[in-house]
Chains A and B, each alone.
Chain A
């Protein structure tokens, strides 16, 4: 293989010279012109070098701009001083043994400086490196320079990569918007409005202000239309962003509240320790991650997956113990159950605070959950939130399947509808109670796994979500999973939509007040009535 490649390379090298040699000669002649120091002659010389495509064009022009290009008075040879102070031959780039005293920097004036900047810009625009071309286009877009218009158009005509083409076109529109003819400005504004962003809006508004008073009304109208279009689009994007945040909050609430809804539906009791089940799940996630760190450091990214069953089992076992130990003994006394489970929540929080510590524990986000995706330009959604939304939906569907299609689900539905009748039909209600409670607690534990990714793992973790979970249950409904689903998402979205209008705290207060009023219309929430037992 190797010899063939070598031969091919040789042939290519031999074939290339004719065209390049001409450019090279012209560029070297231009270099000599630079050394002569005639400012008027230097401008075309700079253009010649920039267009020649010689590999030394960029370092030499940059050195000229920085005052590091030196000329020897005697023979007009040109040298280049690097940033480190080494002297190189300008054209070959080889180290040169020259007497430093014989060298003088080539002076330039402001006009030449602008020409140089433009030339350098067009050189990067022609760079073979795609990333360099893109960043050059970004720079031109951010600070439009009229002198770069011509090289930009040349580069645009040559460009094949669609992303770079789009970036070039945007940069060209930005330049035309500031410096073009009125007609060109209107067209550029329309072009820019196609890719709306806050930066585009700023440019358009600035361009609108900069329009001379006597410009024709069509241009003004075109700019105004472009501004209006960008504004509308940005508002839509912002709304989509807020909406997504609301859905994300809603999915967290769904995970926290759905277990509560199921147990309330079956047993008619509120579990005030439900938030602590979430907290236990989050701590289980932390513990599993610590174990992975110690034993399988290579598989750390998978620890979150392993934490899901661990959290489910831990919280489920805790829930089962609470049901057997306390709640089953308080059967028929829902208010006392509420108080007793509140006591349990205090004990669990304090136990974790003393046993593990009151400070936050860090749970690392696995690499596959970090970063963000951008489904449409300008709308960035963080991956961990998307994963949590999908996870919540998956858990919800699983639970729905369990309630609809399994024996336990059938029994849960029966007891929810009419406990006594279910008993009469031979359903062992204490067993259903215990299993439901373990299930609800386990799901809360799974919710803790999700929460560990977006919130601090601390003994108070459950407390921050429990009031909202209650609201979801009251609002969305009990025993009706779809009610809880809708309730959680509605509450999440409403909370987030109110936040920018009313502030986070006031928004929450409004939601709570709305809930109290909502109960007027639908005293039993959005869920179905529980038959004749509704008021018993």
Chain B
């Protein structure tokens, strides 16, 4: 838990201000000023914010409930594909092959008509419903199967990895009807606005920012709710929580599905900003990287995942440009160092600072509940 001193509304306000920094620097600071943010960088920050939402979603299950998902990228990508399908349908006859209905890749594969599962995606409300329902249902079914048979700990991590791996293989197939290797791209409009225009991009960025605030509000609310406390109990001793009469299956299933829906929404806002969705989003490595964002920032904290997502991805953008061969060393090093040295991430460092500098308030500073000494062998 973050310092009790810093009120939760204040935290939200802080993140809100940070999010607003991008449009302010982009629009209000005159061009030529050192602080002016170029238009082309807006989607980059939008991408980071979407990643931050994804990290918050993972922290809900990992930090809170001790379920380390190595397959959250799958829910992110499912949401992204649902949005991508809407965007593909919006292209209409403007594709390379100018087919009135079929997306280019289907014309290329000589398909004659739209597969049934593409129906309805020309309407935004339907697509939005799918953004929520597809990852949500997948997570619910998977979670129900897994939690019901009390699969936990590393076992669960491995089968979530298997899930995203299976989905990756599936989406790589051309016959699936999702563009195969190339995925979905060449988008033109979203809700009638040209997708590449600076205004649309800023709008998308702001929407992502609102989603982040919403996600944080959900996370904050969850921590204060009885459910949040039950999740901590499950994390620290699931059998005991169960013996005390709590329905641990329901609690886990709820937070798991909620987290997947958040991830799906993040994916849906990510796709129009980066302009492409392809099966590599399902790769196990992409999913494991989410865990390192959360770990770097600090598990089971409000700000940690957001901080971690920004820091690690900022570093990735910079390093893959400046010294690409070093990036994997740094990423690998982060995995090792953070787990060895910083079990509570960067936010944990703040807690190590001398108390005098902490904002006043209450007996506070009781270190957060010991993080998952989860299932050990």
**Chain A residues in contact with chain B, CB under 8 A?**
264-270, 326, 329-330, 332-340, 342-347, 349-351, 353-354, 419, 467, 470-471, 473-474, 505-506, 508-509, 512-513, 515-517, 519-521, 523, 530, 533, 535-536
Contact = CB atoms under 8 A, between A and B. Distances in A.
B155 A344 contact: no
Contacts of A333: 339, 343, 372-374, 376
B377 A338 contact: no
Given A505-B173, A535-B150, A268 B377 contact: yes
Interface in B186-236: none
Given A509-B166, A516-B142, A519-B146, A336 B333 contact: no
B376 A334 contact: yes
B368 interface: no
Contacts of A523: 149-151, 155
A55 to B, nearest CB: 65
Contact of B332 (A270, A329, A346): A346
Interface in B143-176: 145-146, 148-151, 153-155, 157-159, 161-163, 165-166, 169-170, 172-173
A505 B162 contact: no
Closest 7 pairs between A and B when the two form their complex, measured CB to CB: A268-B377, A343-B335, A346-B332, A347-B332, A512-B166, A350-B328, A343-B332
Contacts of A330: 339-340
Contacts of B80: none
B4 interface: no
Given A264-B154, A334-B374, 16 more contacts: A269-B154, A333-B372, A335-B153, A335-B374, A339-B68, A339-B295, A340-B335, A340-B340, A342-B332, A344-B335, A470-B158, A471-B162, A506-B173, A512-B162, A521-B149, A535-B238
B134 interface: no
Nearest to A510: B166
Contacts of B376: 268, 332-334, 536
B155 A474 contact: yes
Nearest to B163: A516
B169 A339 contact: no
Contacts of B162: 467, 470-471, 512, 515-516
B68 A505 contact: no
A467 to B, nearest CB: 5
Interface stretch (B8-16, B256-264, B284-292, B359-367): B284-292
Given A335-B154, A345-B332, A267 B291 contact: no
Contacts of B334: 343
Nearest to B170: A509
Given A270-B154, A342-B335, A519-B159, A508 B169 contact: yes
A339 B151 contact: no
Contact of B166 (A268, A338, A351, A513): A513
A515 B340 CA distance: 32
Nearest to B144: A520
A350 B165 contact: no
Nearest to A479: B377
Contacts of B66: 335
A246 B62 CA distance: 38
B116 interface: no
B331 interface: yes
A533 B376 CA distance: 9
B239 interface: yes
Contacts of B377: 264-269, 334, 419, 530, 533
Given A339-B288, A505-B172, A268 B149 contact: no
Contacts of A349: 328
B336 interface: yes
Contacts of A334: 153-154, 374-377
A519 B329 CA distance: 35
Nearest to A505: B169
Interface of B: 62, 66, 68, 142, 145-146, 148-151, 153-155, 157-159, 161-163, 165-166, 169-170, 172-173, 238-239, 284, 288, 291-292, 295, 325, 328-329, 331-336, 338-340, 343, 372-377
Contacts of A517: 145
A269 B145 CA distance: 23
Nearest to B334: A343
B291 A339 contact: yes
Contacts of B333: 343, 347
B372 A335 contact: yes
A354 B327 CA distance: 12
Contacts of B153: 334-335
12 contacts: A333-B374, A334-B376, A336-B339, A339-B68, A339-B292, A340-B335, A343-B334, A344-B336, A516-B162, A523-B150, A533-B377, A536-B376
A473 B166 CA distance: 17
Contacts of A513: 166
B154 A268 contact: yes
A412 to B, nearest CB: 13
B331 A346 contact: yes
B63 to A, nearest CB: 11
Contacts of A535: 150, 238-239, 375
Given A269-B154, A535-B150, A343 B331 contact: yes
B166 A350 contact: no
A338 B157 contact: yes
B149 A520 contact: yes
A497 B340 CA distance: 44
Contact of B145 (A270, A329, A519): A519
Nearest to B66: A335
Contacts of A265: 377
Contacts of B331: 343, 346
Contacts of B163: 512, 516
B346 to A, nearest CB: 16
A330 B149 CA distance: 27
A350 B145 CA distance: 37
B332 A516 contact: no
Contacts of B172: 505
Contacts of B170: 505-506, 509
A347 B328 contact: yes
Contacts of A530: 377
Nearest to B160: A516
Nearest to B341: A329
Contacts of B68: 335, 338-339
B161 A470 contact: yes
B279 to A, nearest CB: 11
A334 B155 CA distance: 10
A508 B329 CA distance: 31
A3 B343 CA distance: 96
A351 B166 CA distance: 28
Most A CB within 10 A of own CB, among B146, B148, B335: B335
A116 B61 CA distance: 86
A323 B374 CA distance: 20
A346 B335 CA distance: 9
A339 B339 contact: yes
Nearest to B242: A535
Nearest to B331: A346
Most B CB within 10 A of own CB, among A333, A335, A351, A519: A335
Contacts of B295: 336, 339
A66 B163 CA distance: 69
A264 B329 CA distance: 26
B329 A347 contact: yes
A286 to B, nearest CB: 22
B143 to A, nearest CB: 11
A470 B288 CA distance: 15
A345 B292 CA distance: 14
